[in-house]
Structure 1
Amino acid sequence: MLEINMDDVIAVIQSIQTQLIAIAVALVLAIVVTVAVNKRTVENTAVRKLTHSTTWVVAAVAAIVSVAMMLMGPLNSMITMATATRYDLSQENIDAANELAVDIEREGITLLQNNDDLLPLSDAGNINVFGWASTNPIYGGTGSGALSDAYDTVSLLDGLNDAGFTTNDELTDFYTDYRSERGSITVTSADWTLPEPPASTYGDDLLANAEEFSDTAMIVIGRVGGEGLDLPTNMGDIASVAGTVEGVNYDNNSEDYADFEDGQHYLELSRSERDMIDLVTERFENVVLVYNGANAFEMDFLNDYPQIKSVLWAPHPGQAGFAALGEVLSGAVNPSGKTSDTFLTDLTTAPSWNNFGDFAYDNVEEFEVESARGVRYPHFVNYVEGIYVGYRFWETADDEGLVNYDEAVQYPFGYGLSYTTFSQEMGDVTYADGIVSFDVTVTNTGDTAGKDVVEVYYNPPYTNGGIEKASANLVEFAKTDELAPGESQTISIEFEDDDMASYDYENAEAYVLEAGDYVVSINSDSHTVIDEQTVNVAETITYDTEDNTHNGDEVVATNVFDDANGGLNYLSRADGFANYAEATAAPTDYSMSDEDKATFYNTGNYDPTEFDDPDDEMPTMNADNGLRLADLRGVDYDDEQWDLLLDQLDFDEMDEIIANAGYQNAAIDSIGKIRLSDADGPAALKDNFTGASSIGLPSNIVLACSWNRDLARQFGEVIGDMAHDLQISGWYAPSVNLHRSAFGGRNFEYFSEDPVLTGDLAAEQMLGAADRGVYSFTKHFALNEQETQRNGQLCTWANEQSIRELYLKPFETIVKADGDAQAMMGSFNYIGNTYSSAHTGLNNTVLRGEWGFRGFVETDYFSGTNYAYQTGDQAIRGGTDAMLATTETTNHITDESATSVIAMRQATKNILYTAVNSYRYENGEPESSTPMWQIATYTTIAVLGVLFVGLEALAVKRYLTRTKEAKTDIK
């Protein structure tokens, strides 16, 4: 999603340019006529004055008509949303949201290191807090994930103070005097400056006073990310263009040195930060480091500083979550978080490193489109690592001897320490009727109450050169209750054997569970096995028949994404990853193939009439069947009543609800369909037009680190409750793309590098909101793992196995948790050479066919004129139902053929089905009313109409009087 920016302004101007031209023409003609009909050309005073009067009345009428056409046409939706009633949260829901935020952060804060058991601090007394980020921490991401400033925010220092710590105000003042605010990062611009006072500016007195104040120091390091911009992989490039390239800003903290040298990236220490750490560790032996960021950070520097004994990862806490940080430090809360990503000692060694970023095609002149933002042309990104993303690569590469794991990985996926110790005992594993099941008994063997996580992985049999398989795959997880010292809890684990199947896109073209031994283990993290047992699959199972589909698919899953493969050399485990260097190298071929060019479409070459089917018959419209939308609440999706209701609609009514779905879905008065409001974002609800907003909860990265399904369900329920307060029906969330790279700008709102952890937690969010009758737009469907060039016609190339096993898996989990009245938001990128929101294989074959989705699909923000590739006509043909547009661009349906109307009916049905099953219709048909601004407009036009008729009548009367007087004078 996008915040309001220059693209929106440009789009609005473009949408009303016809009316603006009409007003200008009317004014110019009026001036011309006024000048032409003057004393020298028309001596008759009566005629001259009548002509002047009539000319300006006509010009005014033309201007008013043009303005009315703007208001009732292109600007209708935007004004309706902007003038809608603004609602506020109840105090009950404010309190509930803030309480939940603290609960999530309590379990999401992850203890990465605790040498000498420094934490918890036995004395919640004085503490020195170093680091500029301590005074300007990161509460949430930017863009659609940004938080509202309408509610109180608990700062990092507030959280410490509330827990009983006294922080060094002199240090705090030093940082706030240095710089009061963090540089802005928006969808289209970013200040990548990392304010950190040079070590030389601290002064001896400040440091001496700090040593006297406390013998304990905390260092805070912060990193921010957001929508529209990935984190810089080379700060040298940023520094070289800052101030000269629009939207890019960066300042060093000293004239004596550069904070980052060429080649250094944003997720490592800056020179000023390292100097500050040197300064602190020279004076303090007990140091706690807090990393406040959502993206996995390089922490290899910890080896240089034995004084840093404890490390906490405290990702974006929302508006109240920092209260948990003080509780964790004091020991009032025992940390139970586990990493949701793999922390590497060197992020440049990730297999995606060379294939993440800005890659432009060099032979696509025929697809260049002039837009208000300049010439647009296609770009690409290659997912060459295949299924080997995150821990799946590192664990498998370790088993194959490709890497030195201990040198490469600092903190594995699923890793986290506690103030107590636990044991986990694995019961006997049974495998019967396709179900793998066993119990795990977790016992608190320490002296402090706490929670633990049961992580279950499987290692499948692998044949060299066969189907690609990682040697570690999370298959199930569970979090315990809080266990007192000595207390035990037994967790029952159960999963289906086809959860261990692999997708064979080269031979079987289906999911396959190969015969052999599957090692099922319980781990403390992806790398450390606690216990394991073997499940033997006696015969290979291929899920390729109607009565034997994978994971309950309604139809057999077979190859759909051959067109997205791109013919790339994908990373393979064969011969110990023998092709690693070649497969993961940076692209060398920047040309789009002739084959892909033949079916590449954007606004420059897409013509819907080329795809019309002459055998299609025009559906019925304008029928008088007497149905109201409310009559169909709870009616089965396939019930014939839906056809009767759709028969009542006309072309314009369907076009309106399809084309104008930005932050709403529109009203259809003839069937009692009221306008419903939909709102951003993943951690809160934000009405971008009225300004109404909810409490901001912690980002999804925190929820992922909690590994707690119950908290995820509560997250959705609280969102649903706040939606009721704000009269919002749809929630643009959860966001379930994966952390393919640590540098992803939206990693804060996406959960994890793992599809199981992501999908299971996100499904709980969705179910929580659905329990309150709020429909969720799971996003971004699909393969939107980078922000760079996301709306630059970004062709995303990936093999079918990785698409299905990784990138579609969270969406599949959510749909199958409740495939009924929900929604899905598309992504900006292309899948292969086809825009995702026009990809019939994705939206129809997989989503609706295989998974049985019943709901509607909406584009991501729709700005066809500016982005140069989105068209409503292509989207509805490709399985998308609604355009997230706030003004007129290319969102309206232009083809009125039978083929087009059939697609419109289906799209309208999907939107209406979701709408009527929302909470707004739970008590029958809601009341509908004409927006006040429209009533005011009609009234104003009527008054002006009477006024201008009166003026013209007065002008005519004066003309007749003057004419009569002139005749009298002649006599």
Structure 2
Amino acid sequence: MWGYFKNKQAMKKETVQKVRADKAKLKERKQELAMLPEAERKAAVEQDKQVQKEQKQQSKLRMKSLSRKDRRVMKKEAKRYKKIKSRPRRLAGWSVVAAIVILLFVQFGPMASSIIDALTAKHITAITDSPEALAAREHGEKVAEEIANEGIVLLKNEANQLPLQDKKINVFGLSAFELRYGGGGSGAGDNSRAVNLFDGLTNAGISYNTDLHQMYQTVREEKGAGSSGSTGIVQVVKGLMGLNSSDEPTIDYLTDEAIKQAKAYSDNALIVISSESTEASDAKVEQLKLTDNKRALVEKVAQNFAHVTLVINAGNALELGFVNEYKSIQSVLWIGTPGPYGANALGNVLAGKTNPSGRIPDTYVYDNSSAPASENFGDYGYNNLKYSFMNYQEGIYVGYRFYETFYQGNEKGYRDTVLYPYGYGLSYTDFEWTVQNQTFTKDKIELQVNVKNVGNRAGKDVVQLYYSAPYVAGGIEKSAIEMATYAKTSLLEAGQSEVITLSFATEEMASYDMNGEQAYVLDPGTYQIKVAHNVHDIAASYDFQIAEKKVYKADKDTGTAYKNQFDLAKGELTYLSRNNWEKTYPSDEKVSHEAPQYVLDSFSGETVASKQAMPKVGVDNGIKLKDLKGVAFNDPKWDAFLDQLTLDEMIDYVANGAYRTMAIDRLGVPKTLLMDGPAGFSYFFKPVQASSYPSEIIIAASWNKDLAYRMGEAIGKEARAYGIQGWYAPGMNIHRTAQGGRNFEFFSEDPMLSGTMAAAMIKGAQDQGIIAFMKHFALNDQETNARTGNLIWANEQAIREIYLKPFEISVKEGKPLGTMSSFSIIGTKWAGANSNLLNDVLRKEWGFDGFVSSDAVFGFMKAPDAVVAGNDLMLDIMTPTKNEKLLEKAYKKDPAGIANGVRTSVHHVLYTILQTYLFKS
């Protein structure tokens, strides 16, 4: 045995020496290549590639000629070599993993076995290597690149710098070597096959300065930069530890000689400006500005090159006012977090193979602190309560709703504040619009717009429709303008036209009256219907008169009467009003850190036992789940089936709902697999091979609902091929501020754009027979304190018109089968234990008939509270046994309440599973 270990150590030592020798040779070869003239270097590089290719082929032939035993030895040697070669990167990754494990064990120590199950991905049974899986993944990757092509936004293009006439370019900055394809956390997809920026340029026929490239490679090695392709949890922890900085190094490496060489190569320069975004941590104010090092880089390049292109690679709205400070910055392209094929899309746009047609889904301002929501964003804690809080004092005035209203009639003030309005974007061609027909009635607003390409390139255009409602001072708060609908043209060749029809229900212009009617109200007066290029650039405006006040007292689809559901969340706050901006403008300096007594009481009160009748359990009625296919949710046959479940089965089923639902074989209940995430299937603790897509902010920037549908459809096809039944997506919280850590994972600052995009995506996925979970329901708009308990104070109008609206649109248009409740405590009720939210609004008012899962489980999120309030499954991968015990304990105090709660939850889930492809005949 000792001889075996000695021999193993000797082989390892020999491999280490070989790795070192090969690295030294590679370094020496790089230095030799760097000294060659460009043409010779390119030829030498190609020759080296050919030699490597031939060596690999010879190795394969040699392998085939060996005996099975010798082949095993050779494979082991190759594996050992690869392992030792990648050790530095792995060690860096494992240091973060170690931090994760320590963090988890500190918080969940008694649940060690559950933690091990999570880390080893015991529940994840997706099959990703079958022929069907490979075909589905290939299809998904094509859709991903299409989205990236249409999601790029051209923000600036002076002197028609783009597309590039001279297809040679200098690329500056380390950010170009580390494109951010997506964000961190559950919204991070599989980027293992991502195309880097330089390959994207090459694929589009653009040459880059290889001398400059080689210099940056050396700088990278010296600075220890490099991406490790981390899993979601690693990215989150790195974000919390401040290890994912996107700053540039000091630019002392950019010598006069280096600049001289680059200028001789081309007068075109490109700089990538990145910022980090990740689940569990928000962006700091300074991360949204140019750092000193980035400023120095931009300045150096702008001073030395006549034609500079900036590429904005960020999921948050950065402060970009500096682009107007340098005359040579002639073009700006926003690519957001564009997925693994974003570099191909970028190359195509730069080369002119694709005409950019995206529009920004957020307002870009010179100073992000100018948004009233920024006054109350961050870390606010109570002195007398263990929870944190967040005041949404800006009310409905989020994003463009504030800027367009506050600066109404003050164009100079607006221009000094807003750089790029919501919905803004340029094209390489020009379009001419003619409004052909307008039909305005008490039920419907409709216009037809003829869009003609009057330029000399094929391209797509976006027609946006807004309305302005009459405002009565002191009445219902109203934005000066709101988006009603939008449409994107097909690809129009030069001279080609297309007629776009835009329509919406007149009722959608109503505002929620939380102080009087507790219903939606259309005030009498003049409504302006505006055809626009963006929220501030109006092409045509038409008046529509409403003579009498109209009150909409009930939901038009379900007939459920409206009423205030969230009065307890209003708190004791003053909310921003356009009737008196100065006196109502938010300020965290006036915030009280003492929780009122009624708040303290709400967290200390005992649960009152219910007066429901005890349901039957454990009866043998001989019914299998398949027998309920097509049976209405309220059909008595469901009662006969549910009577067969035991209490233990129902408790286990509800408490063990993380990434799955459990099988109950005796009743024909199959297990299901539920997976993250919004940018393609992923798992927090382990890489998953799957298609990876642009983040949702890019999908929104495409303004193409058909593309959103096709992404959902591609995800659905992958799910079926992999054996997945549920998809934890899409995310549709609001970009309340530019600092939101998950803004990349959500669509927009506007609820209408968010809702319609999400609805299309949901429909595409569910048409394939899977469950889409719209998330995070609701008011989950910042990451700070979200997982430790954050009380959200907001008024009813803002909750309904801004934060719930995307979900309402999704339910009405997309009909999701799943919902994921949020971490947020709305007023004093956790979202997953908020019956007003989950039962009164989601199910009764909107007509949702699927099931609700929690989003992970932290200390304040308890299963007994959830099952009696409409939250059906606990996404609890760390502490399921704890929640089982909590349910058992709660049952002793309130047998009928808990028994009926878990029974209803199981009913919701099983009814939904019957709608999936598992039960398609």
Q: Tell me the equivalent position of 1:146.
A: 188
Report deviation, 1:552. 2.6
Report deviation, 1:430. 1.6
CA deviation vs aligned residue, 1:503-527 (integer Å, no higher than 9, x gap): 0101111111112111001111101
More displaced 10-residue stretch of structure 1: 137-146 or 395-404? 395-404
Report deviation, 1:9. 3.8
Matching of residue 205 in structure 1 with residue 257 in structure 2: yes
Q: Give 1:854-933 correspondences, 5 Å limit.
A: 854-863=849-858, 868-886=859-877, 887-888=879-880, 890-892=882-884, 893-894=887-888, 895-896=890-891, 897-923=895-921
Matching of residue 275 in structure 1 with residue 304 in structure 2: no
**Relative to structure 1, is the Cα distance of residues 831 and 7 closer, same or farther in structure 2, using a 3 angstrom cutoff?**
farther
Matching of residue 93 in structure 1 with residue 97 in structure 2: no
Q: State the one-letter code of the partner of 2:322.
A: F
Matching of residue 594 in structure 1 with residue 597 in structure 2: yes
Q: Tell me the equivalent position of 1:284.
A: 305
Q: Tell me the equivalent position of 1:951.
A: none
CA distance in 1, matches of 2:411, 2:311: 32
**Relative to structure 1, is the Cα distance of residues 495 and 355 closer, same or farther in structure 2, using a 3 angstrom cutoff?**
same
Q: Tell me the equivalent position of 2:493.
A: 484
Report deviation, 1:215. 1.3
Report deviation, 1:742. 0.4
Q: State the one-letter code of the partner of 2:609.
A: D
More displaced 10-residue stretch of structure 1: 651-660 or 92-101? 92-101
- Conserved? CA contact 2:247–2:291, under 8 Å: no
More displaced 10-residue stretch of structure 1: 186-195 or 528-537? 186-195
CA distance in 1, matches of 2:630, 2:104: 38
**Relative to structure 1, is the Cα distance of residues 606 and 688 closer, same or farther in structure 2, using a 3 angstrom cutoff?**
farther
**Relative to structure 1, is the Cα distance of residues 641 and 80 closer, same or farther in structure 2, using a 3 angstrom cutoff?**
farther
1:173 is aligned, of 214, 235, 253, to: 214
Matching of residue 341 in structure 1 with residue 362 in structure 2: yes
Q: Tell me the equivalent position of 2:353.
A: 332
- Helix, strand or coil for the counterpart of 2:287? coil
CA distance in 1, matches of 2:824, 2:536: 34
Report deviation, 1:94. 2.5
Identity, % of aligned pairs? 38
Structure having the larger proportion of residues in helix: 2
Q: Give 1:78-89 correspondences, 5 Å limit.
A: 81-82=122-123, 84=125, 86-88=127-129
**Relative to structure 1, is the Cα distance of residues 595 and 195 closer, same or farther in structure 2, using a 3 angstrom cutoff?**
closer
**Relative to structure 1, is the Cα distance of residues 470 and 232 closer, same or farther in structure 2, using a 3 angstrom cutoff?**
same
Q: State the one-letter code of the partner of 1:594.
A: Q
Q: Give 1:108-507 correspondences, 5 Å limit.
A: 108-124=151-167, 126-149=168-191, 151-179=192-220, 180-181=225-226, 185-187=235-237, 188-233=240-285, 265-364=286-385, 377-399=386-408, 401=410, 404-507=413-516
CA deviation vs aligned residue, 1:47-89 (integer Å, no higher than 9, x gap): xxxxxxxxxxxxxxxxxxxxxxx79xx9889888347464336
* TM-score for both structures, normalised by structure 1: 0.80
Q: State the one-letter code of the partner of 1:331.
A: G
- Conserved? CA contact 1:154–1:319, under 8 Å: yes
2:583 is aligned, of 579, 583, 588, to: 579
- Conserved? CA contact 2:185–2:684, under 8 Å: no
Q: Tell me the equivalent position of 2:68.
A: none
Report deviation, 1:916. 1.7
CA distance in 2, matches of 1:402, 1:578: 19
CA distance in 1, matches of 2:662, 2:920: 18
Report deviation, 1:745. 0.4
Q: Tell me the equivalent position of 2:630.
A: 634
- Helix, strand or coil for the counterpart of 2:434? strand
Matching of residue 15 in structure 1 with residue 18 in structure 2: no
Q: Tell me the equivalent position of 2:609.
A: 612
CA distance in 2, matches of 1:889, 1:307: 62
CA distance in 1, matches of 2:589, 2:370: 13
Q: State the one-letter code of the partner of 2:226.
A: E
* TM-score for both structures, normalised by structure 2: 0.85
- Conserved? CA contact 1:571–1:584, under 8 Å: no
CA distance in 2, matches of 1:402, 1:282: 32
Report deviation, 1:5. 5.3
Q: State the one-letter code of the partner of 2:595.
A: M
CA deviation vs aligned residue, 1:428-468 (integer Å, no higher than 9, x gap): 32223511112111111111110000100000010011100
**Relative to structure 1, is the Cα distance of residues 712 and 280 closer, same or farther in structure 2, using a 3 angstrom cutoff?**
same
Aligned-residue RMSD, C-alpha: 2.1
CA distance in 1, matches of 2:596, 2:740: 28
2:699 is aligned, of 703, 706, 709, to: 703
Structure 2: which 5+ runs fail to align? 1-95, 229-233
**Relative to structure 1, is the Cα distance of residues 528 and 557 closer, same or farther in structure 2, using a 3 angstrom cutoff?**
same
CA distance in 1, matches of 2:171, 2:593: 49
**Relative to structure 1, is the Cα distance of residues 88 and 11 closer, same or farther in structure 2, using a 3 angstrom cutoff?**
farther
Q: Which has the larger radius of gyration?
A: 1
CA distance in 2, matches of 1:774, 1:587: 48
Q: State the one-letter code of the partner of 1:916.
A: L
More displaced 10-residue stretch of structure 1: 625-634 or 382-391? 625-634
Give the number of aligned pairs. 804
CA deviation vs aligned residue, 1:267-295 (integer Å, no higher than 9, x gap): 11111111111211121111111111111
Q: Tell me the equivalent position of 1:528.
A: 537
- Conserved? CA contact 1:794–1:830, under 8 Å: yes
**Relative to structure 1, is the Cα distance of residues 333 and 156 closer, same or farther in structure 2, using a 3 angstrom cutoff?**
same
- Conserved? CA contact 1:11–1:889, under 8 Å: no
Q: Tell me the equivalent position of 2:842.
A: 847
- Conserved? CA contact 1:88–1:725, under 8 Å: no
- Conserved? CA contact 2:141–2:691, under 8 Å: yes
Q: Tell me the equivalent position of 2:524.
A: 515
Q: Structure 1 segments of 4 or more deviating over 6 A?
A: 74-80
- Conserved? CA contact 1:11–1:888, under 8 Å: no
CA distance in 2, matches of 1:737, 1:83: 27
CA distance in 1, matches of 2:594, 2:101: 32
- Helix, strand or coil for the counterpart of 1:392? helix
**Relative to structure 1, is the Cα distance of residues 79 and 742 closer, same or farther in structure 2, using a 3 angstrom cutoff?**
closer
CA distance in 2, matches of 1:75, 1:836: 28
Matching of residue 779 in structure 1 with residue 772 in structure 2: no
Q: Tell me the equivalent position of 2:6.
A: none
Q: Tell me the equivalent position of 2:807.
A: 811
- Conserved? CA contact 1:612–1:900, under 8 Å: no
**Relative to structure 1, is the Cα distance of residues 632 and 715 closer, same or farther in structure 2, using a 3 angstrom cutoff?**
same
- Helix, strand or coil for the counterpart of 1:860? coil
- Helix, strand or coil for the counterpart of 2:759? helix
